[in-house]
Amino acid sequence: MNVIHTENIKKTYNPDTIPVEALKGVDLSIKQGEFTAIVGPSGSGKTTLLNIIGGLDRPTEGYIEVGQKDISKLSDNQLIDFRRENIGFVFQAYNLIPVLTAKENVEFVMLLQNRSEDERNARTIELLEAVGLGDKIDSRPSQLSGGQQQRVAVARALAPKPTFILADEPTANLDSKSTANLLDIMARLNKEENITFVFSTHDQRVIDRARRVITLEDGVISTDIQQHN
Amino acid sequence: MNTLFKIAWRNVWRSRLRTFVILGAIILGVWAVIFITSLSNGMVKSYINNAVQTEVSHIQIHHPDFLKDRAIEFSVGDADKVLASIQSTKGVKAVTKRTLTNAMLSSSKGARGVQVKAIDFNREKEVTNIATKVIEGEFFEEKGRNPILISRRIADKLKVKVRSKMVLTFTDLSGEVTAASFRVKGIFNTGIAPFDEANVIIRQEDLNRLLAPEAVLINQAPDQKFDVESLTHEFALLVNDTKLVDEIAGDIEFQFPHLKVQTFRQVSPELELYETSIGLTGMIVMTIFMLALIFGIINTMLMAVLERIKELGMLMAVGMNKRSVFSMVVIETLMLGLIGTPIGLFLGYLTVTYFGNAGIDLSSYGEGIEGFGMSTMLYPSLENSLYIQLAIGVFITAILGSLYPAWKAIRLKPVEAIRSL
């Protein structure tokens, strides 16, 4: 089953002044349980593609379906609701809420979903244990290392039981050990729980672990390779 | 909603210095508005009380023509009957009668024009506080011939002291200039410079005897003999409840339609003007404070929003809707107001209560203040309603001040906000 399906996605910035074509027609399908890296040089359009897949931006042209739902025509507010229920985000700079503890950060999205307290508590503990932070649930982000913060971010992304996880350069700020640790956790979640991951990355360590690598160049997909690792 | 409150509360304490600065501004502002308004109120009350207790009383009654040219012949006829009638009017606390005339007061060292207030001294003690203002010598008593009370200011200018002899020269009812010698019985200081410089006080019986030896009032029949005892130009009275002063004045006017009955506001219109202008000043001070506060809040909250662009972008990316983001910024601002305002109100209340009892001694500015007609001890006072008005005012200001930063927050596009530095 396709989790993400796009047809001829185009995105032009500044259409009225100096038009910049970031995407020139991208056709892409990602299936449930894939572990996919989107790579490419700066300016190739990978961030734009990720934003569109993640419902943070709209394409200028083309069709996009996430979890069998056409999201290209949704309003801002509908997109917010859609993201809350369907997409888990992991950002390069972790972007945790600094005034909340690890547990509260993970719980936060479930609160927005109006989940019951029992469910929130159980899932938060389960997720933090799954990313190896069972003993840090009451720590604030400032008390955690970069790698630990990014693991909290992964737990937070998983909390709402999204259709897939979108990770934008998740390892860019991490050292080798933290990167390896994070990738191990994501690979395990992917394998054991069949969770779909889509990364944008420059990091060869991430590319090496991905099972599918899509390369973007000048706004179009130049290669789409399945890897066996 | 609980989470919004929790995040907002923790955000308030995220930059402690900034929070303390804006809290300081709110606390100081609320306190200052309370203190300044209570000072103004205290001044108004002191000014009005002084004027009422020393000079004006609550209601004055005259012959209508007396007010136009203050000629001595415009006496209130049948003064004793009028007095008894006023005394029995409901709500009247005390009443006194006076004879008034202009005179030249001379000592061996100089002379000056004065207004002579000839009083019924036993009644006067119940209506005005003049007896308590005698600082040297004594107030009047039954015995003794032609005693006079003069102020400290006049005593200094004419270089006289208690028991000195002085001469009053005035016109009697027949139009003849007459003079009589008086002995200084006491020296008073009311604290109201204009009053002290213009007035001397003698007994009504003494002046009446000198004014009307054989005279006849113009509104009496020529063959009717003038009653010396009855010569009275002014009745002054106090009421039990100042809120009812207009009603009581109306009652008296109904009983004596031929007399002019005036409340203290009509006798001294400047009292009302002063009251109004102080009230207006208070409003202006409050408005300036609210405006300053609104800009302070906008500045603080805008900083709080702008330094969290990335975080706000993330919140919207993961599904926090715009209404919640907007509410979060407004709640944060309200929290600042809800912490600062009660502290400011409490400090203001303590200050007003303390100085309201202890008083503020303004005697180092005595000259100017007394010249204006206020006493040198100022007792700040404030009605409870102002505390409530102020609390509501800050609440509304906080909401208004938060709108722009909150609007700015929801205008952020998550995709740009997340990537911002």
Residues A208-224 have pLDDT tens digits of 999 999 999 999 999 99
DSSP state of B75: P
Residue among A48, A56, A106 with most chain B CBs within 10 A, to mutate: A56
- Residue B332 maps to a domain: yes
Alpha carbon of A29: minimum distance to chain B alpha carbons (Å)? 23
Q: What is the pLDDT of residue B373?
A: 64
Alpha carbon of A229: minimum distance to chain B alpha carbons (Å)? 32
Q: Do residue B90 and residue B238 come from a single domain?
A: yes
The shortest CB-CB distance from A83 to any of B6, B319, B322 is to B319
**Chain A interface residues (partner B, CB cutoff 8 A):** 51, 54, 56-57, 76-77, 80-81, 83-85, 89, 91, 93, 95, 97-100, 104, 108-109, 111-113, 156, 160
CB contact under 8 Å between B319 and A57, yes or no, is no
Q: Do residue B38 and residue B14 come from a single domain?
A: yes
Map tokens 């709500």 to a residue: B91
Q: Do residue B291 and residue B227 come from a single domain?
A: no
CB contact under 8 Å between B315 and A97, yes or no, is yes
Size of interface A-B (CB pairs under 8 A): 61
CB contact under 8 Å between B321 and A100, yes or no, is no
- Residue B179 maps to a domain: yes
Average pLDDT along chain A: 90
The shortest CB-CB distance from A57 to any of B321, B324, B415 is to B415
A141-155, B209-223, B241-255, B403-417, range with the lowest pLDDT: B209-223
Q: Do residue B250 and residue B106 come from a single domain?
A: yes
Determine the average pLDDT of the residues in B252-265: 92
Q: Do residue B231 and residue B150 come from a single domain?
A: yes
Domain that residue B30 falls in:
2-51+272-419
CB contact under 8 Å between A85 and B319, yes or no, is yes
Q: What is the pLDDT of residue B216?
A: 45
Q: What is the pLDDT of residue A216?
A: 93
Q: Do residue B18 and residue B145 come from a single domain?
A: no
Alpha carbon of A227: minimum distance to chain B alpha carbons (Å)? 31
CB contact under 8 Å between B317 and A54, yes or no, is yes
The shortest CB-CB distance from B314 to any of A81, A91, A112 is to A91
- Return the residue of A nearest to B2 by Cα: A111
Q: Do residue B317 and residue B254 come from a single domain?
A: no
Residue B299: partners with Cβ closer than 8 Å, 6 or more residues away: none
Structure tokens at B206: 């003494």
Query: For chain B, how many residues are written?
Result: 421
Residue A65: partners with Cβ closer than 8 Å, 6 or more residues away: A2, A4, A5, A6, A71
Strand partners, B256: none
Q: What is the pLDDT of residue B242?
A: 84
CB contact under 8 Å between A77 and B314, yes or no, is no
Give the end of a domain, one of B258, B292, B327: B258
Domain that residue A51 falls in:
2-226
pLDDT tens, residue by residue, B373-395 = 666 788 898 888 889 988 999 89
CB contact under 8 Å between B319 and A84, yes or no, is yes
Question: How sure is the predictor about B2, in pLDDT bands with cuts at 50, 70 and 90?
Answer: confident
Alpha carbon of B397: minimum distance to chain A alpha carbons (Å)? 26
- Residue B265 maps to a domain: no
- Residue B253 maps to a domain: yes
pLDDT tens, residue by residue, A109-132 = 898 888 899 999 999 999 999 888
Q: Do residue B251 and residue B278 come from a single domain?
A: no
Number of domains in chain B: 2
User: Residue B12 pLDDT > 90, yes or no?
Assistant: no
Question: How sure is the predictor about B180, in pLDDT bands with cuts at 50, 70 and 90?
Answer: very high
Percent of chain B with pLDDT over 70: 93
CB contact under 8 Å between A89 and B10, yes or no, is no
Determine the average pLDDT of the residues in B59-64: 94
Question: Could you give the residue ranges of the DSSP H alpha helices within chain A?
Answer: 46-53, 76-86, 102-112, 117-130, 146-158, 176-193, 204-209
Residue among A80, A92, A110, A138 with most chain B CBs within 10 A, to mutate: A80
Among B185-199, B204-218, B268-282, name the most confident range. Answer: B185-199
Determine the average pLDDT of the residues in B402-419: 88
Q: What is the pLDDT of residue A62?
A: 92
CB atoms near residue A92 (< 10 Å): 19
Instruction: Identify the residue with better confidence: B333 or B363.
Output: B333
Set of chain A residues whose Cβ sits within 8 Å of the Cβ of B317:
54, 56, 83, 89
Set of chain A residues whose Cβ sits within 8 Å of the Cβ of B319:
80-81, 83-85, 109, 112-113, 160
Question: How sure is the predictor about B311, in pLDDT bands with cuts at 50, 70 and 90?
Answer: confident
Q: What is the pLDDT of residue B217?
A: 46
- Residue B56 maps to a domain: no
CB contact under 8 Å between B311 and A98, yes or no, is yes
A115-119, B76-80, B82-86, range with the lowest pLDDT: B76-80
Set of chain B residues whose Cβ sits within 8 Å of the Cβ of A166:
none
Rounded to whole angstroms, the Cα distance separating B26 from B189 reads 43
Q: What is the pLDDT of residue A49?
A: 92
Q: Do residue B314 and residue B396 come from a single domain?
A: yes
Task: Specify burial of residue B216 (Cβ count, 10 A radius: 0-12, 13-18, 19+).
Answer: middle
- Is the separation of the CB atoms in A12 and A22 below 8 Å? yes
Q: What is the pLDDT of residue B215?
A: 47
3-state secondary structure of A134: coil
Q: What is the pLDDT of residue B143?
A: 83
The shortest CB-CB distance from B415 to any of A56, A81, A156 is to A56
Rounded to whole angstroms, the Cα distance separating A116 from A135 reads 23
- Residue B107 maps to a domain: yes
Alpha carbon of A186: minimum distance to chain B alpha carbons (Å)? 19
Structure tokens at B407: 């609007």
Number of domains in chain A: 1
pLDDT tens, residue by residue, B37-59 = 898 888 888 888 888 888 889 99
Question: Could you give the residue ranges of the DSSP H alpha helices within B133-257?
Answer: 152-157, 193-198, 204-211, 245-255
Percent of chain A with pLDDT over 90: 44
Q: Do residue B197 and residue B318 come from a single domain?
A: no
Residue B280: partners with Cβ closer than 8 Å, 6 or more residues away: none
- Residue B243 maps to a domain: yes
Residue A50's domain is classified under what CATH number?
3.40.50.300
pLDDT tens, residue by residue, B338-362 = 999 999 999 999 999 999 999 888 7
Average pLDDT along chain B: 87
The shortest CB-CB distance from A83 to any of B3, B313, B318 is to B318
Question: How sure is the predictor about B366, in pLDDT bands with cuts at 50, 70 and 90?
Answer: low
Q: What is the pLDDT of residue B310?
A: 86
CB contact under 8 Å between B418 and A95, yes or no, is yes
- Return the residue of A nearest to B313 by Cα: A95
User: Residue A43 pLDDT > 50, yes or no?
Assistant: yes
CB contact under 8 Å between B7 and A89, yes or no, is no
Q: What is the pLDDT of residue B420?
A: 62
Rounded to whole angstroms, the Cα distance separating B162 from B82 reads 36
Q: Do residue B217 and residue B79 come from a single domain?
A: yes
Determine the average pLDDT of the residues in B246-253: 93
User: Residue B220 pLDDT > 60, yes or no?
Assistant: no
Alpha carbon of A71: minimum distance to chain B alpha carbons (Å)? 15
Q: What is the pLDDT of residue B214?
A: 56
Rounded to whole angstroms, the Cα distance separating A51 from A217 reads 17
Rounded to whole angstroms, the Cα distance separating B92 from B248 reads 8
A125-134, A144-153, B74-83, B226-235, range with the lowest pLDDT: B226-235
User: Residue B224 pLDDT > 70, yes or no?
Assistant: no
Rounded to whole angstroms, the Cα distance separating B403 from B329 reads 8
Determine the average pLDDT of the residues in B267-284: 85
Alpha carbon of A47: minimum distance to chain B alpha carbons (Å)? 10
Set of chain A residues whose Cβ sits within 8 Å of the Cβ of B320:
80, 84, 112
- Return the residue of A nearest to B323 by Cα: A77
User: Residue B225 pLDDT > 60, yes or no?
Assistant: no
Instruction: Identify the residue with better confidence: B174 or A167.
Output: A167
Residue among B318, B321, B411, B413 with most chain A CBs within 10 A, to mutate: B318
The shortest CB-CB distance from B311 to any of A80, A95, A156 is to A95
Determine the average pLDDT of the residues in B154-175: 92
- Residue B241 maps to a domain: yes
Alpha carbon of B20: minimum distance to chain A alpha carbons (Å)? 18
